[in-house]
Amino acid sequence: MTVFLSAYTNGVDKKGRVSVPAPFRAELATHSRQTVVVYAAPNEPFLYGWGYDDFVKFTEKIMQLPPMSKTRQRLARTILAAAQPLSFDENGRILLPERFLKSADIQTKATFAGQGDFFTMWNPDAYEATLNADQEHFDDDWEALTENGWGL
């Protein structure tokens, strides 16, 4: 089971190469392919990153919908057709295509934020602003979590 935790900010070079944090690469060590599947979050300022095997499981959930359903077609276009597998170079970097860099406004640095079974990549300023806004909702979010049967 893959679990991405913590947040890291790494430099992005002029070619769009960025080092995936070492703890994230370690989580991917048991996957069938040493690949990160990336796609731009629809209507959001970040990118999603999945380990290959976890993305396949996610894809299977989409494919369980009826083939001709509008929901499946939309998800296939916005996620599956938009996703791109990116391999690591010898230094643990991936090359983010220009369209992804522009979509998330990633320029010289990228913040990787663990989200459990996937991670997100952000412009560091956008990540900080979103994190600050999220913290304002923490008490309500925690309450919703405990009301759904999870509590300490």
What is the C-alpha end-to-end distance of the chain, expressed in Å?
22
Extended strands (E) in 75-114: 84-87, 93-95, 109-114
77-107 pLDDT, tens digit per residue, is 999 999 999 999 999 999 999 999 999 999 9
- Supply angle C-alpha 89, 91, 95, rounded to 5: 45
pTM comes to 0.92
What residue has token string 């991405």? Answer: 4
Domain boundary assignment for the chain: 7-124
118-152 pLDDT, tens digit per residue, is 999 999 999 999 999 999 999 999 888 888 666 65
Mean of the per-residue pLDDT values for the chain? 95
The letter for the amino acid at 15 is K
Q: Give the span between the Cα atoms of 112 and 47, in whole angstroms.
A: 9
The letter for the amino acid at 106 is I
- Inform me whether the pLDDT recorded for 31 exceeds 80: yes
103-120 pLDDT, tens digit per residue, is 999 999 999 999 999 999
Report DSSP state, residue 111. E
Q: Give the span between the Cα atoms of 143 and 82, in whole angstroms.
A: 35
CB 99 within 8 A of CB 32: no
| CATH top class, domain 7-124 | alpha beta
Report percent pLDDT > 70 for the chain: 97
